[in-house]
Copies of this chain bind each other. A is one copy, B any other.
């Protein structure tokens, strides 16, 4: 299911191939986020033109709107949103913890009111897996508690142990129900938690590995912790995870973070910042961020970048700045497309570099061209 095609001799970077019911995914891979059943401002044809191999869907959002009745009648999320390539869905837990109101976490799961109309809802391990079975995603995430940062060792331990007990219940639901999608079995990835504590991360990873899943995620990253912690967590966790299974760092990151995490053995990434920064008029370039609202671009008739997406060629920075200033949708579309293209190129270049044995040079180049890692806002 996951073939390791090449490894980097100077780091833990890997070049792999993950087979899912809706298609093959070349790793390292960046997955655009389609929160509400659409990658913001993008048409599926454009995602295909970006070589998007897999996109993300958000269980919580789709459960609240349009609801599982509609998705079920549509024949699943692929058919509903007109996307025939792989989809990964999160478990809904992260959104319940970050968006929902009046939430109460108990052993059985989480009681809360949804953020749209305040309806009382309950999400637990079995419900989360059942919803994802209805969505018919290729990869479903196990329900976990995303430990907040900062937290004490004791809090992190309790939270991580709850995640382990929930993982076991998810596993049991999956074993009993064996969800299928796209003519094959849905894959299920558990999530390693444990905050910034090495012993907890290692124990969580070991216990999840013992349960033998087809892939593993590292969660609780990019929740406010220093970047050094993020890197350390990957360094503690990845060596414990099986070499022949894909590893997914959830909700990350900036271009240098992605490259540094690839170097630590991560294979899969998802992040809202390419589309979120686009809404703010900000484009990614090899030299860092370009805020197209700035007056310096008012008469800059060059394209955003020479190697932008083909659909963005022919449009100048001055024109896109005008579109952003007048809040025209085309501005958002062009910058989103450019940014997703930038991220797609970043991971495709990483794949090539690992294959060709020049990942160290690629890594050094990306890091050095970004003047400072911290100039990009966190996701």
Contact = CB atoms under 8 A, between A and B. Distances in A.
Interface residues of A, number: 38
A81 interface: yes
Given A73-B301, A80-B316, A82-B315, A333 B329 contact: yes
A70 interface: yes
Interface stretch (A35-43, A161-169, A247-255, A361-369): A35-43
A332 interface: yes
Interface in A296-323: 298-299, 301, 311, 314-316, 318-319, 321-323
A10 interface: no
Protomer copies: 2
A66 B318 contact: yes
Nearest to A298: B70
Interface in A53-85: 61, 65-66, 69-70, 73-74, 80-82
A330 interface: yes
Contact of A318 (B44, B70, B332): B70
Interface of A: 36-38, 40-45, 61, 65-66, 69-70, 73-74, 80-82, 298-299, 301, 311, 314-316, 318-319, 321-323, 325-326, 328-330, 332-333
Given A41-B329, A66-B322, A329-B332, 17 more contacts: A36-B322, A36-B323, A36-B328, A37-B322, A37-B328, A38-B323, A38-B329, A38-B330, A42-B330, A43-B330, A44-B314, A66-B298, A70-B298, A74-B316, A74-B318, A80-B322, A329-B333
